[in-house]
Amino acid sequence: MSDKFYKKYLLVLLSLILAFNQVDRLALGLVLQDIKVDLALTDTQLGLLSGIAFALFYSIMGIPIARWADRGNRVTIVSLTTMLWSGAVALCGAAGNFFQLLLIRIGVAVGEAGCVPPAHSFIADYFTRAERPRAVALYMLGGPLSAVVGYFIAGWLNEFYGWRATFIVLGLPGVMLAVLARFTLREPRTSRRAHSPEVSTPERIQPAPTLRDVMFTLWTDATFRHLLFSFSVLYFFAYGMAKWQPAFFVRSFGLQTGELGTWFSIIYGISGLLGTYWGGELASRYASNKEHVQLKAMAVACCAFGALLAGAYLSSSRYAAFGLIGLATLGGTMINGPLFATIQTLVPQQMRAVSVALILLFANLIGMGLGPLAAGALSDALRPMFGEESLRYVLLLLCPGQLWVGWHLWRASLTVRQSLQASALTSQSWGKQGESSIMDKSWKKHAV
């Protein structure tokens, strides 16, 4: 297959894997109310189940897997971890109580940690700086695609067959994707070594920086720090809202999961697909190699995102609420491609997978871990005062957090050009170390 066709195939397959990597989390939010009734759980337990318990293992395991991805075979990593989380998702349907489901979700988290960092590292290897916003956006179409499957299919499966059968069905496609990835994807590092057994350039063999070197290099960069903070804040408020939105519509508007899943698949599927695609396309076409412009546009989008969501939670009409959430999703997802592409361009080549994993470590522990838990605990606290409407006011309280996200993105735009220059110097420095390492090995070989 030609290189041009293979690059398109790579994006399609990685996007499908990403879709099913996220679909179980969306489905879990949709069926939380049914799990609550079936297993007699509190909102705090549901927040723990969908939040910190999953995020803790997802985030921590992402670091060693990303370290492996920065130096090892990413095809092996993606295929093995996809097989693991797919099997664990199907096993969720067999859980008989809270603690069994908790342990199975931990298994899902460990497997799903091996999806995003290796994929971004793959894309950065195959696409240039100017191409990356578009390429990453196309990859991240898997997110809104997961909404179509996770909300529409899961909603009706749950309504007709229950939440247990839903998880079993959702786990099976990932197994097939894991096999496809194992036998059709190519690791560029392996290809280079196969073509050049006597590797002679530092680009082909470079010593991997230690985790301490990586963390020091990234933390001392002002732009990366602001991006890290923006992700952490964004995930806290976004996950806090997203996990409880289905329960909000069930409690406040009396919707069933089938109808609700259909609405959410349209809102998050269509709006997410359009927003993600347009964001990458606009960044590559009108702000190519201008990350400072991209970051400022992202900051504005986040502020608008929060205002629209506040209007949705204040609305007394389900249709107005759905419409405002759709507009918010369209604007909010436009940042996906440019934001991750900026990170991959910003950090040195030897640190790409770990940089994403470190961001996800903090963002998921703070956001995915504490966001749903905080929202659930607040809902329980406000229930004596507001009854079934307690979730409406909790979600409304989370909306201003998007202004905080926008502030960090704007600050990052002010320093990104200097950071890109520093990153290029760091990459050259590691390349020279790689060259020295090769010369040392060659000297020892001839000395013997």
| Fold observed for domain 3-184+209-432 | Growth Hormone; Chain: A; (1.20.1250)
Angle, vertex CA 428, rays to CA 443 and CA 14, nearest 5 = 105
- pLDDT tens digits, residue range 357-411? 888 788 877 877 778 778 888 888 888 888 878 889 999 999 999 999 999 999 9
How would DSSP label each residue in 184-223?
H---HHHHHHHH-SS--STTTS-PPPPHHHHHHHHHT-HH
Which residues in the chain land under pLDDT 50?
194-205, 434-448
pLDDT at 1: 63
Alpha-carbon span 230 to 299, nearest angstrom: 10
> For the segment 92-119, what is each residue's pLDDT rounded down to a tens digit?
888 888 888 888 888 998 888 888 888 8
CA distance 174 to 187: 20
Residue tagged 């995930």 (tokens): 235
Residue 218 is predicted with a pLDDT of: 82
Q: What is the pLDDT of residue 430?
A: 54
What is the per-residue pLDDT across 426-440, written as a single tens digit (0 to 9) for each? 666 655 554 444 334
Q: Which residues contact 426 (CB under 8 A, 6 or more apart)?
A: 217, 348
Q: Give the helix, strand, coil percentages of the chain, each rounded to 5.
A: 85, 0, 15
Please answer whether residues 29 and 153 qualify as being in contact, where contact means their C-beta atoms are separated by less than 8 angstroms.
no
- pLDDT value of position 412: 94
Would you call 316 helix, strand, or coil by DSSP? Answer: coil
Residue 297: the pLDDT is 92
How high is the pLDDT of residue 202?
A: 38
pTM of the predicted model as reported, rounded to 2 decimal places: 0.70
Which residue type is seen at 138?
L
CB atoms within 10 A of CB 386: 13
